[in-house]
Structure 1
């Protein structure tokens, strides 16, 4: 009888213990778990609290990356200050994308002593300094050195030839440079902007320079996205030649730039926002 009493007591204790474990398991905090949308993003911390701000930042960090390309060579290269889609046939970037914050518009990093250099992360043949020698083209940055002063490593990487295109000197030092300065102004004004730029190659045979036959683009594009307040976007097309024109002369909608390049920009935006802002090209909204 006493034996049965102790046996029942032990069984009851075991049941209580198991119930307690199940309850504890049910209330364990979730770690990670970022939803793939901007507005509905949530992230659970170890304390079980929802940290929407950090989760939105994690998703927003990819806003500048265009959709994967089809029928075009593409090697993705992630750098400290930007991301490159590299084309092994043209020896150029297909596009270069970066998130420019107000904090990244200035810094102490200086231009390297021997600045331009080969990118050993891509196979040979690849662009070298000798390809540009006596070519009458500048080594034109896509992601500018001026956007990478915040980091010595970022500054050094901005001079890799996978971030460079043959660019008409008057464009590189003139209107293209003015737009780079304008983008930094916007980053300071709005807190941050998302930028994608690169070469435009029209159908037909292209001019090349150097032993490695680096293609000379016929034009260049740049698209800029601002998410502060009411989201807005704007595009630009620059012919690769002489010109000294007002910024407004280069303005296009993002939709127009997509038709010219074949690229899909800002694909992570909700469709309703993407369609609206990519169809517009209001230079006055940007102070142009």
Structure 2
């Protein structure tokens, strides 16, 4: 295996390549790193590593959404900015991935980790994929995850009380395993609506998500390995 790939495999988090255009502020928390978009007041992406040991834990789910103290005040979305919008405060890095540590749980409820998400999607198809990822982390030992909103080339609905927050058209999630001899990647796209979207139907290649978003999601991988993994989409690889 290429030496860079070996080094990447031991890193805590694999981050996408910096944006070539658009608003980006990198914010690091205990369990995840995000790229914050100050024009939309949502993340461009959120990235974290999920290990088998972090798929459960003793910390109860937090009950309070908080403004992220690391975001400049002018762009610091508050919990009430989503009030009466019809949208959930949809976690990108989910609460159930952070039960292993109290600080991690608190920080995953920062509003910088949220996007306006259809309630049925949030509690249904999106939650089902989150649960599947935790099972894959147990099987693989460790997985790398990047997810975020998708904004297509049109005007978007806006919500907010003190801050304007743009509503995404959809959401992506990309998952990577570097388990030696079993390296693999897969991605998913969900429209931001109430239709049932089983993850087996939502799956696609990482290459397709990168074409849709303009992001380079696993940029630090060896180029040959990246090309091989990111063009493949087979949900059966993840049983």
Q: Which residue of 1 aligns with 2:193?
A: 241
1:13-52 to structure 2, matched below 5 A, reads 37-39=4-6
Q: Alignment partner of 2:34: what SS?
A: strand
Per-residue deviation, residues 40-68 of structure 1 (Å, max 9, x unmatched): x5xxxxxxxxxxxxx962xx324x21001
For residues 174-185 of structure 1, the aligned pairs below 5 Å read 174-185=124-135
Q: Which consecutive segments of 4 or more residues in structure 1 shift more than 2 A?
A: none
Alignment of 1:149-228 (within 5 A): 149-211=99-161, 212-228=163-179
Contact 2:9/2:178 (<8 A) preserved: no
How far apart, in 2, do the equivalents of 1:95 and 1:206 lie?
18
2:4 is paired with a residue whose SS is coil
Aligned length: 235
| CA pair 143-171 structure 1, distance change in 2 beyond 3 A | same
Q: TM-score, normalised by structure 2?
A: 0.94
Tell me, which stretches of 5 or more residues in structure 2 are unaligned? none
Alpha-carbon distance, 1:36 to partner: 7.0
Change (3 A) 1:56 1:139: closer
Q: Which has the higher contact order (CA 8 A, sep 6+)?
A: 2
Aligned CA distance change for structure 1 residues 137 and 275 (closer, same or farther; 3 Å): same
Does residue 134 of structure 1 match 2:84?
yes
After TM superposition, the structure 1 stretch with the greater mean CA deviation from structure 2, 207-216 or 173-182, is 207-216
CA RMSD of aligned residues (A): 1.5
Q: Cα–Cα, structure 1 residues 70 and 106, in superposed 2: closer, same or farther, change >3 Å?
A: same
Aligned to 2:70: 121
Match of 1:98 among 48, 52, 55: 48
1:280 aligned counterpart, secondary structure: coil
Query: What is the TM-score of this pair, normalised by structure 1?
Result: 0.79
Q: How big is each residue's C-alpha offset from its partner over 1:5-62, in whole Å with a ceiling of 9 and x where there is no partner?
A: xxxxxxxxxxxxxxxxxxxxxxxxxxxxxx97134x5xxxxxxxxxxxxx962xx324
Deviation, 1:120, is: 2.1
Q: Greater CA radius of gyration, 1 or 2? A: 1
Q: Distance in 2 between matches of 1:258 and 1:38?
A: 20
